[in-house]
């Protein structure tokens, strides 16, 4: 008999007159949860990471880089809540369309740029300003973060379901024990008040 810390290991798998069907169900559910955690979670994480990376790289499709001029001076120091990279701040820029017309808009530019200086902007097929697409390294990082978050979410979901099933089985165990004690008492002639 294999013991660890004074407890019999794998007791749910052995023949035992005290073993209930819910004990066997609990053991199989634990095996299934472990299998999902070991086999499914990594696959979900890798697939999600790949999809996230492809999605980030797809954002670059249809964008092209063009030169623009700052219409106004860009602030020299970023605000705490700009939401952009530390060296990028919003400023008005002007650029030329392929038909020769001029357009003006606001996009992120390097901090401290002076009015009239040149900067690069990203445009979509309709000539609208867009955020710079992520680099391949940034796309990999975004995909990896998404894959890790998805894997962790699946782990939490599986662990939560396993816990909920164990709680439900514990309630069932108590009911089975109560019934067994009641049958034992009634066979001995005891009466309940």
Q: What is the residue range of 103's domain?
A: 62-132
Pick the last residue of a domain from 109, 132, 155: 132
Would you say residue 191 lies in a domain?
A: no
Q: What residues does 118 pair with on adjacent strands?
A: 69
125 & 104 share domain? yes
CB count in 10 Å sphere of residue 95: 20
The residue written with tokens 């089985």 in the block is 169
Would you say residue 66 lies in a domain?
A: yes
Domain count, the chain: 2
The one-digit pLDDT tens for each residue of the chain (193 residues) are 556 666 766 656 667 776 777 777 888 888 899 999 999 999 999 999 999 999 988 888 888 888 888 888 777 766 565 555 557 778 888 888 888 888 888 888 887 778 888 888 888 888 888 888 888 899 999 999 999 999 999 999 999 999 999 899 888 888 888 888 888 888 676 555 5
Helices and strands (DSSP H and E) totals, the chain:
3, 7
Would you say residue 192 lies in a domain?
A: no
Tell me if 144 sits within 8 A of 49, measured CB to CB: yes
52 & 97 share domain? no
**Alpha helices, DSSP H, located in 36-135:** 41-58
The residue written with tokens 């954002």 in the block is 59
pTM value is 0.64
Pick the last residue of a domain from 132, 158, 174: 132
């Amino acid at each position: 008999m294999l013991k660890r810390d004074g407890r019999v290991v794998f007791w749910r798998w052995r023949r035992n007159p005290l073993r209930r069907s819910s004990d066997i169900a609990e053991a199989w559910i634990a095996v299934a949860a472990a299998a999902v955690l070991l086999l499914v979670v990594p696959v979900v994480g890798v697939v999600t990471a790949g999809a996230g990376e492809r999605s980030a790289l797809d954002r670059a499709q249809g964008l092209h880089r063009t030169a623009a001029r700052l219409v106004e001076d860009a602030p020299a120091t970023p605000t705490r809540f700009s939401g952009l990279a530390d060296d990028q701040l919003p400023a008005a820029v002007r650029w030329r369309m392929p038909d020769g017309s001029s357009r003006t808009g606001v996009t992120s530019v390097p901090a401290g740029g002076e009015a009239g200086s040149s900067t690069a902007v990203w445009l979509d097929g309709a000539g609208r300003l867009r955020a710079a697409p992520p680099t391949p390294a940034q796309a990999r990082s975004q995909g990896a973060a998404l894959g890790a978050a998805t894997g962790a979410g699946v782990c939490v979901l599986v662990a939560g379901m396993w816990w909920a099933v164990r709680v439900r089985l514990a309630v069932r165990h108590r009911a089975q024990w109560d019934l067994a004690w009641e049958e034992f008492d009634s066979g001995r002639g005891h009466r309940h008040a």
